[in-house]
Amino acid sequence: MLIRHATLPDGRTGIDVLVQGGRIAALGPNLPAPAGIETIDAAGQLLSPPFVDAHFHMDATLSYGLPRVNASGTLLEGIALWGELKPQLTQDALVERALQYCDWAVARGLLAIRSHVDVCDDRLLAVEALLHVREKVKDYLDLQLVAFPQDGVLRSPTALANLKRALDLGVDVVGGIPHFERTMADGAESVRILCELAAGRGLRVDMHCDESDDPLSRHVETLAFHTQRLGLQGRVTGSHLTSMHSMDNYYVSKLIPLLAEARLHAVANPLINITLQGRHDSYPKRRGMTRVPELMAAGIEVAFGHDCVMDPWYSLGGGDMLEVAAMGLHVAQMTSQAQMRACFDAVTVNPARILGLAGYGLEPGANADFVLLQAGDPVEAIRLRATRLLVVRRGRVIARAPAAAATLALPGRPARVDWRLQR
Ligand code: FE2
């Protein structure tokens, strides 16, 4: 396959991409076409590496309304609701919903997902279901699983044993939820236990951390401390970190350098936290997203995650990482050109580094995985939630969609409209 005349996210235009043996063999202007090769004209549109979601819950996805909806809209009611649903789950239904979500993801050019999977069910039903799904989708989607003790690794009596069993079964990453433990001290202790477990097994860590409006929630500080102490730098992620939104500025001025020193990664989940947080506020209502531009400015790897799609915590969504980027951009007021491009990176290259994906990126030798978007650049892609014209995995087209357009019937106006800026 030879892609002609693509624009890349870094602004290079007129780029050809030659694919051979599932990898990018060459990339540059005016590449010679080997005889008999399939040629696709990108016509100046944006060719991006695939979208990556650094934070998702595939065991809960598409369960909206089961057994009822979240009336208060809070995180805590969502956790309680998930607890009501868990005994009713079946492996077949979990697999079916996860596979359906993976179809949606692929159609939207989302080809790598880190999903948390709840281990606080002694049957480990969801773990077994998602391990099965990971295997089933591996040719077209990288699914990385996090052993997530939803009910608290100390608060739930069998959670730690279950979490270890899940890792033994092949779950990839150690999770946690220190802000849901019974006390702040237990939360800190859970971080220590889980980081030591990960260090002992040579695994990465990704914890739900300080997902509250409590300005005094301090678990990310503890996470950075144990990351440093155990030599886990660059392998640990703090997810959500919403309390940082509400923290005192002086304390944050001390905290962020500590996170940078530990090379901690951060994942914000804008769609979810703009709806879950601030529910106890009257007015003004806090936005409840962590301090994304400040973390980025400190050199911390920051990604935006989708977190939830139609589950006990969130009633909308559809695997569109451009929607996630757009919400993150708005909530963080990241409106300069450079910041908008950084929001695109936060759903592509940044999460790829956080997940440690091998062979990711548009360069010779990398996997031939990419998405052709109906947009001229990353900012336009976010603005338009651009159509994924082609989705390619290892050099094979695995999804395609017709260009978005509308037909007009207006006197003196063009018959066809699309929403790209005409220059
Ligand atoms: Fe989450």
Digit-coded pLDDT (tens) for 124-145: 999 999 999 999 999 999 999 9
Q: Mean pLDDT, the chain, as a whole number?
A: 97
> Does residue 419 fall inside a structural domain?
no
CB 88 within 8 A of CB 67: yes
Query: Is residue 27 a part of any domain in this protein?
Result: yes
- pLDDT tens for 306-335 read 999 999 999 999 999 999 999 999 999 999
What pLDDT is attached to residue 107? 98
Q: 33 with 78, same domain?
A: no
Same domain for 72 and 36, yes or no, is no
Which DSSP string corresponds to 99-137? HHHHHHHHHTTEEEEEEEEE--STT-HHHHHHHHHHHHH
Predicted model pTM:
0.97
Question: Residues whose CB is under 5 A from ligand 1 (ion)?
Answer: 307
Higher pLDDT, 75 or 234: 234
Q: How far is CA 120 from CA 76, 198, 290, in A?
A: 16, 18, 27
- pLDDT > 90: what percent of the chain? 97
pLDDT band for 422, please (50, 70, 90 cuts): confident
For the cut 90, the answer to whether the pLDDT of residue 421 exceeds it is no
Q: Is the pLDDT of residue 423 over 70?
A: no
pLDDT at residue 18 above 80? yes
Identify the domain boundary among 321, 340, 355.
355
User: Torsions phi, psi of 128, nearest 5?
Assistant: -65, -40
Last residue of some domain: 310, 329, 355? 355
CB distance 275 to 238 below 8 Å: no
pLDDT band at 151; cut points 50, 70, 90: very high
Question: Is there a domain that residue 150 lies in?
Answer: yes
Residue 341 is assigned to a structural domain of this protein: yes
Distance CA 163, CA 158 (A): 9
Domain span at 122: 51-355
| Contact present, 219 and 178 (Cβ < 8 Å) | yes
In the reported structure, the alpha carbon of residue 423 is separated from the centroid of ligand 1 by a whole-number distance in angstroms of: 41
Give how many domains the chain has, as a whole number. 2
pLDDT tens by residue, 193-223: 999 999 999 999 999 999 999 999 999 999 9
Whether 193 and 116 share a structural domain = yes
Residue 55: enclosing H or E segment and its boundaries? strand 51-56
Instruction: Write down the pLDDT at residue 325.
Output: 98
- Supply angle C-alpha 28, 33, 34, rounded to 5: 125
- Say if residue 346 is in the same domain as residue 371: no
Calculate helix-pair angle for 125-137, 91-107, nearest 10 degrees. Answer: 40
Tell me how far the alpha carbon of residue 262 lies from the centroid of ligand 1, in angstroms: 22
Of these residues, 181, 211, 221, 380, which one is catalytic?
A: 211
Q: Residues 240, 365: one domain? A: no
| Average pLDDT score over residue span 68-87 | 92
Could you tell me the CATH number of the domain that includes residue 37? 2.30.40.10
pLDDT of residue 415 exceeding 90, the answer is: yes
pLDDT of 66 > 80? The answer is yes
What are the two backbone dihedrals, phi and then psi, of residue 55, each rounded to the nearest 5 degrees?
-155, 110
What pLDDT was estimated at residue 406? 95
Strand boundaries in 226-329, DSSP class E? 236-240, 265-268, 302-304
User: Is residue 413 domain-resident?
Assistant: no
Query: Using 50, 70 and 90 to split pLDDT, how confident is the model at 288?
Result: confident
**Active site annotation includes 211:** yes
Q: Is residue 321 part of a domain?
A: yes
Q: Note whether residue 414 is domain-resident.
A: no
- By DSSP bridging, strand 15-20 and strand 236-240 are unpaired
Longest dimension (CA), the chain: 72
Cα(260) to centroid(ligand 1), Å: 22
Our CA angle for 37, 39, 44, nearest 5°, is 155
Same structural domain for residues 380 and 251? no
Ligand 1 centroid, distance to 365 Cα (angstroms): 34
The reported pLDDT for the residue numbered 191 is: 98
Q: Look up tokens 């090379």; give the residue.
A: 263
Q: Separation of 129 CA from ligand 1 center, angstroms?
A: 18
**Same domain (yes/no): 81, 7:** no
Verify that 299 and 397 share a domain, yes or no: no
Pair (32, 144) in one structural domain: no
Whichever domain contains 263, its CATH number is 3.20.20.140
* 382 lies in some domain: yes
Residues 127 and 74 occupy one common structural domain: yes
89 CA to centre of ligand 1 in angstroms: 19
- Pair (324, 392) in one structural domain: no
> Tell me, what's the pLDDT at 391?
98
Q: Of 355, 381, 397, which one is at a domain's C-terminal end?
A: 355
* Token representation of residue 71: 């009336």
Dist. CA 104 → ligand 1 center (Å): 19
Predicted pLDDT at 412: 97
Between CA 366 and CA 25 the distance in angstroms is 8
Same domain, 43 and 64: no
